């Protein structure tokens, strides 16, 4: 239920952002408000004044770099939402597990076998089906969405690298504080205040949806394994299609649905394969330990 709720909040985040950027608001300003509200909520939620030691990073430069990737994922996604449907952007973002699989070898030492590489190739075909380069389907929005997906993949890889060393509080807060501070100098050029009270509510809702979405995600992974929860984020496609229809009167075309199906199938296979290998390695280690115990 926690991961269901987090996926729903992330869908509300994207739908709210699309409403704001398509109504004429500057995407950089929308991004800044999203991260600023997120940071303030995080400081209050974690009661940072009571446990400041939980916010001290082990590696400041890694925290900053990870936050930059988070910023890139958000700004590129918001720019993509100016021209793409919600279902299109989330479908391309679902290619992230394939990119993570490809980069996990050189960056994390987690090398993939031929089966997972085949799944990565199939997932790439799904992205090509959605974007259709050379056939009139590819536009600047697709390029922004691909950049958002690549940034998100690097953000995830760095989270894996740092998760065992850094506190959850610092990981959540630095990913919001760094982009908020980083964008301050450009704010006078990018600022465009909402004209209506409703847009103000939606604007501040971005930080609530993003901040609580990440908090619920962490709570979910504290209660279940990553493998057990891995398939459920794909349900976000359902929320995105529903919101796209209800809010923007948009339904994905057959190319988007076909590409999304290919990407989701490829991602689920990678998850299944990683789980199979993890179980096999655990069984081998248990057998090795049992044999050693017999000798001792």
**Domains in the chain: how many in total?**
1
Q: What distance, in Å, lies between the first and last C-alpha atoms of the chain?
A: 46
State how far the Cα of 5 lies from the Cα of 115, in Å rounded to an integer: 32
SS3 state at 241: helix
Q: What is the mean pLDDT of the chain?
A: 79
pLDDT tens-digit profile of 142-178? 899 999 989 988 887 887 778 678 887 888 888 899 9
- Residue 68 belongs to a domain: yes
Whether 183 and 46 have beta carbons less than 8 Å apart is answered as no
**Residue 287: inside a domain, yes or no?**
no
Q: What backbone torsions phi and psi does residue 93 show, to the nearest 5 degrees?
A: -65, -25
Contact, 80 vs 187, CB < 8 A? Answer: no
Residue 10 is assigned to a structural domain of this protein: yes
Q: What is the pTM assigned to this prediction?
A: 0.78
DSSP 8-state code for residue 156: H
Q: Tokens standing for 76? A: 């590129």
Q: Is residue 293 part of a domain?
A: no
* Confidence grade of residue 57 (pLDDT, cut at 50, 70, 90): confident
Between CA 9 and CA 87 the distance in angstroms is 15
In a domain, 289, yes or no: no
**Would 292 be classed as within a structural domain?**
no
Q: How does residue 75 score in pLDDT terms, banded at 50, 70 and 90?
A: very high
Q: What is the pLDDT of residues 87-114, one digit of tens each?
A: 888 888 877 777 777 776 776 666 667 6
Q: Among 23-37, 85-99, 123-137, 229-243, whose mean pLDDT is lowest?
A: 123-137
pLDDT of 118 reads 77
At residue 230, the pLDDT reads 63
Look at residue 265 and tell me whether its pLDDT is greater than 90: no
pLDDT of res. 80: 92
On whether residue 286 sits in a domain, the answer given is no
In a domain? residue 53: yes
Question: Could you tell me the residue range of the domain that residue 160 belongs to?
Answer: 2-271
- What residue has token string 């394994």? 225
């Amino acid at each position: 239920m926690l991961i269901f709720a987090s996926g729903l909040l992330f869908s509300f985040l994207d739908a709210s952002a699309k409403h704001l950027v398509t109504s004429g608001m500057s995407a950089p300003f929308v991004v800044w408000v999203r991260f600023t509200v997120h940071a303030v909520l995080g400081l209050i939620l974690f009661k940072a004044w009571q446990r400041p030691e939980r916010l001290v990073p082990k590696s400041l430069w890694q925290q900053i770099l990870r936050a930059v990737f988070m910023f890139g994922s958000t700004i590129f996604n918001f720019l993509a939402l100016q021209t793409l449907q919600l279902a299109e952007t989330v479908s391309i973002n679902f290619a992230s597990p394939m990119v993570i699989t490809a980069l996990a070898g050189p960056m994390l030492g987690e090398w993939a076998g031929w089966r997972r590489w085949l799944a990565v190739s199939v997932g790439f075909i799904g992205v090509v089906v959605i974007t259709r380069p050379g056939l009139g389907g590819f536009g600047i929005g697709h390029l922004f969405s691909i950049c958002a997906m690549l940034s998100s993949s690097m953000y995830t890889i760095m989270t894996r690298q740092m998760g065992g060393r850094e506190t959850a509080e610092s990981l959540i807060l630095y990913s919001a504080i760094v982009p908020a501070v980083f964008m301050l100098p450009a704010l006078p050029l990018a600022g465009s205040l909402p004209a209506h009270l409703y847009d103000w509510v939606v604007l501040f809702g971005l930080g609530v949806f993003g901040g609580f979405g990440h908090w619920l995600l962490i709570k979910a992974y504290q209660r279940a394994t990553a493998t057990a929860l891995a398939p459920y984020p794909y349900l976000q496609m359902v929320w995105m299609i529903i919101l796209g229809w209800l809010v923007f009167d948009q339904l994905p075309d057959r190319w988007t649905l076909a590409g999304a199906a290919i990407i989701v199938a490829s991602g689920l296979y990678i998850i299944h394969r990683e789980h199979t290998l993890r179980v096999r390695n655990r069984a081998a280690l248990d057998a090795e330990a049992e044999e050693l115990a017999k000798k001792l």
